[in-house]
Amino acid sequence: MDSSGISILTDLKKGKYSPVYFLQGEETFYIDLISNYLENNVLSESEKSFNLTVVYGKDVQVHSILTHAKRFPMMAEKQVVIVREAQDISDLQKDSGAKILLDYLSKPVPSTILVFCHKHKTLDKRKEVGKKIEQLTVSVTFKKPYENQLSDFVNQYAIEKKLKIEEGGIRVLCEYVGNDLNRLANEIDKLTINASDNKPISVEQIMSTVGISREYNVFELQKALINKDVLLASKITDYFESNTKKNPMMPMVSFLFSFFSKLLVAATSADKSERGLVASLKISPYATKDYIKALQNYPVSKICQIVTLIKEADLKLKGVNLGSESEGQLFKELVFRMIL
């Protein structure tokens, strides 16, 4: 889990508060985690009525936010002002708004905890407010995690929820959900409903809960391709072709491109050990066995051909040079040209 986010939460749980927090970046999980903690834990229920203010960026400008922030708490030691969707504040990066915000930040009201939740993007550091915000506030930029960091997140989040998950289950969660930490956390939360105190959660339980078909899904197809299992690949593509609405081809083509483009990097890497692949591909250690197996079955020339085939299929699915083939037929042809 993100060390900066955990450090802030650790301080908050100790009652160590700062006057201003500026939480920004693509990854929104920690922004929500920190702001929700401040909303729910700084004030008692009776204190919240007069001392908790939550506003949204599209509805306010900087001066109105600071009007709230400059108030003194009523019958409480602190007041909390949370600005959600702060990226939508119209004058935040304009000279008028930036100036009065920087004036406030240079001498914030000590009894106010002001929290900006600036999601999906970061301030422009070419501008003064973007440069100084890090100096004058507790400011953290949360980036989307690399693939090889996801298993650690799943492990730690599961431990917090007092869950045990099989190694294969962790891998399935990471591969299916990807690096959206909010979605990963939500899927793990679902698993708590039917979890047993003694038994680790199995791959089958995860696939059922998350909604992945155990027999016919893109993970099974990838496994069939890795092992060059023509029969299994045929069964899976037949199933996909019979129900393209439930199994749209575009996401599957993207999934396969991600794997085989990384496989091409692995094939040309000097260090093909598990540790070397984790470093060069930025993948989870759980995924290295698949890449090592695929390297045994596919020479570099074939991998290059496969990447080209996937790109051509992607263009056809987008309507470029698409003939009379259906999506299902196109995908089926792609898989067999990849595996044979």
> Is the domain of 135 the same as that of 155?
no
> Is the domain of 21 the same as that of 42?
yes
The domain boundary, picked from 111, 141, 171, lies at 141
pLDDT of the residue at 213: 54
The domain boundary, picked from 210, 227, 262, lies at 210
CATH number, domain containing residue 152? 1.10.8.60
Residue 58 DSSP label: G
> Is the domain of 61 the same as that of 92?
yes
> Is the domain of 163 the same as that of 72?
no
Give average pLDDT by consecutive 10-residue segment, the chain, 340 residues: 88 96 96 97 96 97 97 96 97 94 97 97 91 94 88 90 87 82 91 80 82 70 93 90 84 93 94 91 87 95 96 89 81 93
Rounded Cα distance between 98 and 36, Å, is: 26
Please write down the HEC assignment for all residues of 166-219: CHHHHHHHHHHHCCCHHHHHHHHHHHCCCCCCCCCECHHHHHHHHCCCCCCCHH
pLDDT of the residue at 195: 77
> Is the domain of 66 the same as that of 126?
yes
> Is the domain of 182 the same as that of 127?
no
> Is the domain of 107 the same as that of 65?
yes
> Is the domain of 223 the same as that of 325?
yes
Q: How many CA atoms lie within 13 A of 320 on its CB side?
A: 6
The domain boundary, picked from 106, 141, 176, lies at 141
DSSP code per residue over 82-101: EEETGGG-TTTTSHHHHHHH
**If we measure between CA atoms, which residue out of 15, 3, 6 comes closest to residue 113?**
15
**Structure tokens, 111:** 């009894």
CATH number, domain containing residue 307? 1.20.272.10
**Structure tokens, 236:** 């899976």
pLDDT of the residue at 1: 64
> Is the domain of 133 the same as that of 23?
yes
pLDDT of the residue at 212: 64
CATH number, domain containing residue 82? 3.40.50.300
Can you tell me whether residue 115 is helix, strand or coil? Answer: strand
> Is the domain of 96 the same as that of 115?
yes
> Is the domain of 56 the same as that of 129?
yes
- Per the structure, the count of domains in the chain is 3
Range of the domain at 48: 3-141
Do residues 228 and 339 make contact, with C-beta atoms less than 8 angstroms apart?
A: yes
Q: How many CB atoms lie within 10 A of CB 57?
A: 20
Do residues 139 and 7 make contact, with C-beta atoms less than 8 angstroms apart?
A: no
Q: What is the pTM of this model?
A: 0.70
pLDDT of the residue at 215: 55
**Structure tokens, 35:** 């702001």
Percent helix, strand, coil in the chain (nearest 5)? 60, 10, 30
> Is the domain of 183 the same as that of 81?
no
Return the biggest CA–CA distance within the chain: 75
